[in-house]
Amino acid sequence: MTFLRKKFETSPEFARIAPLAVYAILGMFQGQLGEESRYWFYIFKTFLGAWIIWEVRPFVQEMHWKISWEAVVVGVAIFAVWVGLDGLYPRLSKLDTGATPFQQFGAGSAIAWFYIVVHIAGMSVVVPPVEEIFYRSFLYRYFVKTDFRSMPLNQFHGLSFFVTSIIFGLMHPDRWLAGILCGLAYQWLVIRKNRLGDAMTAHGITNFLLGIWIVWKGDWSFW
């Protein structure tokens, strides 16, 4: 662990890339080792992601949650866009049925509810800092300056603004258009507020509302 902390301290790039890389690699194994692995790997990557975020926190100065009315409005609006646009444009990948915990573990089972709670907590608290420090803090600025930390968070760069958001959207190929709009909105927040925390909050609100929607409607494909 000392080596990892030293790497975080000496490489600002590594500190912002590693959490997303670990999260994505573990995500690739979900469902690959039997259907139950879809659930247990998500739980594992959520707890591991939370630990990595805790470890990287001292070395990513901009990673602080901030609440503002803009963050709340954007968070709710992007949730509405994510759900409202679904099915109205072509998908770039086959829509996965998603994790169906009540079908897998039984209706109302404790294990199913444990998974649901962990999943919503993960997507609301862990995913926002993991993705925001990579896309909105690192990638957006790195496309402009390799010494990305010398670029203020509130500096607008048109090409990077759109390219970063498109990349973010394409990482959600089944809902790419909503993903692009999402990326644009969160990056706008960072630029407007000159800090990352509002985008983290907006991202967390969007994902929390989406998690509630999924369970309420039983629309598990949104996981």
| pLDDT reading at 3 higher than 80 | no
Residue 32, pLDDT score: 83
H helix intervals, the chain: 2-10, 12-28, 37-56, 69-84, 101-105, 110-121, 127-132, 140-142, 158-170, 176-193, 197-217
Residue 161: what are its φ and ψ, rounded to 5°?
-55, -45
Token pair of 42 as six digits = 């998500």
pTM for this entry: 0.95
Report the first-to-last Cα separation within the chain, whole angstroms: 32
Provide the pLDDT confidence category of residue 5 given band limits of 50, 70 and 90. confident
| pLDDT reading at 43 higher than 90 | yes
Token pair of 120 as six digits = 């919503």
Token pair of 48 as six digits = 């591991």
Residue indicated by tokens 């409607």: 217
Read off the pLDDT of residues 183-221 as tens digits, 9 standing for 90 and up.
Answer: 999 999 999 999 999 999 999 999 999 999 999 999 999
CA distance 56 to 5: 7
